Chain A
């Protein structure tokens, strides 16, 4: 069974701080990785995708990928209360199937 593991949290950070969200995956051959944000009662919204080792930045968001360690993370700089949500990590495995983690709940405290 392919697995994507996330710390369920809840993770609380003060406004303006950096929030760090982590994800590990079991299929070493996976090539595509995604971060989704899901507000309570809403559907997941794609915020970042990353395919190569290293960092990828988009505004206040940075995704980091380390395929050797089978680890992907999401950093949110200058966290805002509007960032309070559940963040889902998703991995596309070697069989072209998506696997989602169960999500990390983030609360940004004003």
Chain B
């Protein structure tokens, strides 16, 4: 079974803090993704990566950056946390194989910025 893990289930940070969210997958997937999920807005893609050290902006990259130094690990960084970044953050991974890009999600990190 694919396993995607995230470093924290719940996180509370203060405005202006730098926040690191870690994601690790154990299935040798090439693609990794960071989403945020908010009520009524669904899943929105922040960044994705299709290879080590490669990254692509998604729909809402502002205020975020990412790092992928190893194939299995993809980090999301909130440079200076703001209250509008309070959300559920979901990491996912998928193979890069034909068009069977099935994504598998981690358990999520519920981040509250106060």
Contact = CB atoms under 8 A, between A and B. Distances in A.
A46 B95 CA distance: 14
Interface SS of B by simple majority = loop
B100 A32 contact: yes
A98 B33 contact: yes
Interface stretch (B13-21, B64-72, B79-87, B105-113): B105-113
Interface in B74-102: 90, 99-102
Interface in B8-60: 33, 40-43, 45
B103 interface: yes
A101 B42 contact: yes
B107 A43 contact: yes
A44 B90 contact: yes
Contact of B43 (A31, A97, A100): A100
A34 interface: yes
Interface in A62-110: 88, 90, 92, 96-98, 100-103
B79 to A, nearest CB: 24
Contact of A32 (B40, B99, B104, B107): B99
B102 A49 contact: yes
A98 B90 CA distance: 14
A46 B103 contact: yes
A44 to B, nearest CB: 5
Interface of B: 33, 40-43, 45, 90, 99-108
5 contacts: A32-B100, A32-B101, A42-B108, A43-B90, A46-B102
Interface of A: 31-32, 34, 36, 42-46, 49, 51, 88, 90, 92, 96-98, 100-103
Kindly list the 10 A-B residue pairs having the minimum CB-CB distance in the complex, ordered from nearest: A102-B42, A43-B105, A100-B43, A43-B108, A32-B99, A31-B99, A44-B105, A92-B101, A43-B107, A100-B42
